[in-house]
Each structure stands twice: as structure tokens, then as C-alpha cells.
Amino acid sequence: MMSKIEMTEAIIVAKAEKNVGWCDIAAAAGLSEVYTTSACLGMNHLDAGVADKLCEFLGLGAEVSTALQAFPHKSWDKLVPTDPLIYRLYEIVGVYGPTMKELIHEKFGDGIMSAIDFTMDIDKEENPAGDRVVVTMNGKFLAYKEW
């Protein structure tokens, strides 16, 4: 059985060979760009029909489709990464995480934002002072229950 790492490598090679973007792959799959990319990188799974459409678009075999359908083990290195873009996301959480927690608690109560009932969009906003990255996260509020 193909591993998620081997699956991701095959997808990235096919993506480069076809000279397509994640938006093109997502359109072929019929899902959002963020979710499709996450599945291709091994952090989510796809249902059989969607995985097959994606593989057909990229010219990949059944073993990649099967790997895309496998439920992932969602883990990552616990150390702060050194990739500058990913590190900055950690920095944002480090600096603004407590603020986000306070404001969410004030507006919703004691609980968390779901990363399961969740969507995220990443957009580009053109700006004369330098283009802006717009990340929109939308997660269901889950209150802690008392028992």
C-alpha cells in the first residue's frame, strides 16, 4: 500500500508535469482549494469518487486514489518549524493566540473553535503598498459542557 508521503510525492510530480495549480486540481475534484491541497499533502482524506476524479485529472493510478482515501494520522513535528512562512503562522498564534482566546471567550463563552466543522480560504488582495495575504478561518464554536 502506498504511504501518504509517497502519495504526496506522486501528486506533486504530476502537478509539475501537467503545469497546473492547486486551484485546477481542486476544480477537477469539485472541492475547495484549501481542503483539496490539504488532502494531497496527506492531512485529510477524500471520498472514493473525488479521489478518482483527482487522479484521473492528474493521470495518476489507483494506488494514489486509495492513499487519498485513507484516513490520515494528523500529526506534525512539535518543534517550531524553520520554514519562514510556516514559522510566521506559529508566530501569529504565539503573539495573537491569547488575544484570540480572550475575544472568542468574551463573545461566545468558554469553548473552542472547531477544526473539524471548519473552512478556510486563502486569497490575494492587491495593494499598492504590497499585495496582502488574506486568510479567513471559519469554525463552529464548541462550548465546553458541564456534567
The answer to whether 9 is a known catalytic residue is: no
Catalytic residue among 91, 102, 106, 126: 91
Of 69, 93, 121, which closes a domain?
A: 69
- Greater model confidence, 12 or 94: 12
112, part of any domain: yes
Q: What is the grid cell recorded at 81?
A: 518549524
**Residue that finishes a domain, picked among 14, 34, 69:** 69
User: What is the DSSP track for 41-106?
Assistant: TTSS---HHHHHHHHHHHT--HHHHHHHHSPP-----SSPP-SHHHHHHHHHHHHHHHHHHHHHHH
Q: What integer is the mean pLDDT of 40-49?
A: 96
Residue 132 designated active-site: no
| Catalytic residue (one of 3, 9, 102, 114) | 114
Q: What CATH number did the domain enclosing 135 receive?
A: 3.30.1160.10
Instruction: Copy the grid coordinates of residue 37.
Output: 491541497
Among this protein's residues, is 32 annotated catalytic? no
Determine contact, residues 65/52, Cβ cutoff 8 Å.
yes
Q: Across all residues in the chain, what is the average pLDDT?
A: 95
pLDDT value of residue 84: 93
Domain that holds residue 112: 84-143
| Domain shared by 94 and 46, yes or no | no
